[in-house]
Amino acid sequence: MNITTIILAAGKGTRMRSAFPKIMHKIANRPLLQHVYDMSKQLDNNQIKIVYGHGAELVRERLKHLDASWIEQKQQLGTGHAVQQVTDQIADTDTVLILYGDVPLLKLITVKALLANVDDKSLGLLTVNLSDPKGYGRIIRDSHGRVQRIVEEKDASNNEKLIKEVNTGIMAVKGDKLKLWLAQIKNHNAQGEYYLTDIIEMAVGEKIKVITNHPHSEDEVMGVNNRMQLSHLERVYQQEQAANLMEQGVTLRDPSRFDLRGSLESLGQDIDIDINVILEGKNSIGSNVTIGANTRIKNSVIGDHVEIFDNCVIEDAVIGAGSRIGPFARLRPETVLGVNVHIGNFVEIKKSDVAEKSKINHLSYIGDTTVGSNVNIGAGTITCNYDGVNKFRTVIEDGAFIGSDTQLVAPVRVGKNATIGAGSTITKDSPENQLTLSRVKQVSISGWQRPEKKES
Ligand code: UD1
Ligand code: CA
Is ligand 1 within 6 A of the CB of residue 292?
A: no
CATH number at 192 reads 3.90.550.10
Question: pTM for the whole thing?
Answer: 0.93
**Three-state secondary structure call for residue 407:** strand
Q: Are residues 294 and 417 in the same domain?
A: yes
Q: Are residues 242 and 380 in the same domain?
A: yes
Residue 311 Cα to ligand 2 middle (Å): 27
Is ligand 1 within 6 A of the CB of residue 50?
A: no
Q: Are residues 29 and 174 in the same domain?
A: yes
47 dihedral zone (left: phi>0; alpha: psi -120 to 50; beta): beta
Is ligand 1 within 6 A of the CB of residue 137?
A: yes
- 324-382 pLDDT tens trace: 999 999 999 999 999 999 999 999 999 999 999 999 999 999 999 999 999 999 999 99
Residue 233: closest CA among 105, 101, 110, 109 = 105
pLDDT value of position 456: 79
Looking at residues 171-197, what average pLDDT do you find? 98
Domain boundary among 221, 253, 279: 221
* pLDDT at position 170 over 90: yes
- 216-231 pLDDT tens trace: 999 999 999 999 999 9
User: What is the number of domains present in the chain?
Assistant: 2
Q: 188 an active-site residue? A: no
Residue 48: closest CA among 81, 70, 78 = 70
Residue 45: exposure state from Cβ atoms within 10 A (0-12, 13-18, ≥19): exposed
Q: Are residues 150 and 268 in the same domain?
A: no
Is ligand 1 within 6 A of the CB of residue 166?
A: yes
Residue 78 Cα to ligand 1 middle (Å): 7
The verdict on residue 316 lying in a domain is yes
Mean pLDDT of the chain: 97
DSSP 8-state assignment for residue 137? P
CATH number at 246 reads 2.160.10.10
Q: Are residues 201 and 235 in the same domain?
A: no
Beta carbons of 221 and 134 less than 8 angstroms apart:
no
Counting ligand 1 atoms within 8 A of each CB, the residue from 35, 79, 163, 198 with the most, and so the one to mutate, is 79
Q: Are residues 140 and 242 in the same domain?
A: no
Expressed as residue numbers, the domain containing 410 is: 227-436
Kind of pairing between the strands at 95-100 and 165-174: antiparallel
Q: Are residues 161 and 184 in the same domain?
A: yes
pLDDT value of position 195: 98
Q: Are residues 176 and 264 in the same domain?
A: no
Q: Are residues 156 and 271 in the same domain?
A: no
Closest residue CA from atom 13 of ligand 1: 169
The verdict on residue 445 lying in a domain is no
The verdict on residue 448 lying in a domain is no
Closest residue CA from atom 30 of ligand 1: 100
380 dihedral zone (left: phi>0; alpha: psi -120 to 50; beta): left
Domain boundary among 200, 221, 242: 221
Domain boundary among 204, 221, 238: 221
Task: Provide the H-helix boundaries in 162-197.
Answer: 175-182
Q: Are residues 305 and 424 in the same domain?
A: yes
Is ligand 1 within 6 A of the CB of residue 82?
A: yes
Beta carbons of 197 and 167 less than 8 angstroms apart:
yes
For residue 11, the ligand 1 atom closest to its alpha carbon is 26
Percentage of residues of the chain with pLDDT beyond 90: 97
CB proximity list for 307: less than 8 A, separation 6 or greater: 289, 290, 323, 324, 325
Residue 382 Cα to ligand 2 middle (Å): 10
- 125-146 pLDDT tens trace: 999 999 999 999 999 999 999 9
The verdict on residue 339 lying in a domain is yes
The verdict on residue 411 lying in a domain is yes
Kind of pairing between the strands at 401-402 and 419-420: parallel
Residue 406 Cα to ligand 2 middle (Å): 7
The verdict on residue 452 lying in a domain is no
The verdict on residue 453 lying in a domain is no
Looking at residues 274-288, what average pLDDT do you find? 98
For residue 53, the ligand 1 atom closest to its alpha carbon is 22
* pLDDT at position 8 over 90: yes
H/E stretch holding 251 reads strand 251-252
Q: Distance (Å, rounded) from C-alpha 196 to C-alpha 251?
A: 46
Beta carbons of 98 and 196 less than 8 angstroms apart:
yes
Beta carbons of 263 and 279 less than 8 angstroms apart:
no
**Three-state secondary structure call for residue 222:** coil
Q: Are residues 178 and 210 in the same domain?
A: yes
The verdict on residue 446 lying in a domain is no
Is ligand 1 within 6 A of the CB of residue 76?
A: yes
Is ligand 1 within 6 A of the CB of residue 136?
A: yes
Q: Are residues 203 and 312 in the same domain?
A: no
Residue 89: closest CA among 29, 9, 179, 15 = 179
Closest residue CA from atom 37 of ligand 1: 136
CB proximity list for 302: less than 8 A, separation 6 or greater: 283, 284, 285, 286, 289, 308, 319
**Three-state secondary structure call for residue 43:** coil
Closest residue CA from atom 36 of ligand 1: 79
pLDDT band at 40 (very low <50, low <70, confident <90, very high): very high
pLDDT value of position 200: 98
Residue type, 285: I
pLDDT band at 12 (very low <50, low <70, confident <90, very high): confident
Residue type, 236: V
pLDDT value of position 11: 87
Kind of pairing between the strands at 353-354 and 296-298: unpaired
**Side-chain half-sphere exposure of 158, counting CA atoms within 13 A:** 0
